[in-house]
Amino acid sequence: MMKPSVLILGAHSDIGKAIAHAFAALGHPIQLAARNAGKLKADQSDIALRYNVAVSLHEFDALDLASHAAFVDGLSEMPEVAICVVGLMGEQSQNEQDLEAAIRVMRSNYEGPAHILAELANRFEVRGSGTLVGVSSVAGERGRATNYVYGSAKAGFSAFLSGLRNRLAQKGVHVVTVLPGFVVTKMTEGMDLPAPLTTTPDNVAKAVVDAVERRVNIIYIKRTWRYIMMIIRAIPEGIFKTRKI
């Protein structure tokens, strides 16, 4: 029996590619969507040959909201699973001074991802099946001076996914929120990441596959993050605002 197709939105990312490999290894056809999708041809061939599955490329711009409906309608097959790994961290110091840069970070982490998942959600709801996965961040669980522009966008995205999950729970559509913590990727290159709290794209991919199969709602890739953020959220604001965390 042929496995249902999986759509990866933001397929240039290290996490996106790892997720594509993980699902393809299980026999799922893969749809890779990204800006300049033609640059993914080598990945397309590798995945197709390695796992003997169909792999298609699709041009997709998360920030071009007006194009999202046509993008979804133009897919050769409506996926059963859609995973959004679109994101942009930026530099907090730059975002504080360059408001255009800050807006791009906010749009890349919230507006664009939420809008495309909303388009897909409406189609999935009519069909009565499917899984939507959004890769958010633990940074969205409390605003911190070191990354509040990025974190605020992720907070909005996490809230959106929560509401979407609540709305679609009785409609046959499941929604997964992924909270990876630190991941070794191009986006974090050069950062001094604490090893005990850092994971890899392959580990994220395995957790996403498991969450989709078991219909898990929210996943922390490193369980330690669940408790760390629980503590951070519990710090009284009067104390929190005097600390750099």
Question: Which of the residues are catalytic?
Answer: 150
Distances in Å between the Cα of 138 and the Cα atoms of 62, 142, 212, 220, 224 are 22, 8, 20, 8, 11
Give CA–CA dist 184/222, Å, rounded.
13
User: Which of 126, 130, 22 lies closest to 79, judged by CA?
Assistant: 130
Strand order in the sheet with 218-220: 55-59, 30-34, 6-9, 81-84, 130-135, 173-179, 218-220
Give CA–CA dist 143/152, Å, rounded.
6
User: Which of 181, 125, 134, 129 lies closest to 159, judged by CA?
Assistant: 134
**Dihedral class, residue 52 (left if φ above 0, else alpha if ψ from -120 to 50, else beta):** left
Give CA–CA dist 2/80, Å, rounded.
12
Do 153 and 109 meet the contact criterion of CB atoms below 8 Å apart? yes
End-to-end alpha-carbon separation of the chain, Å? 50
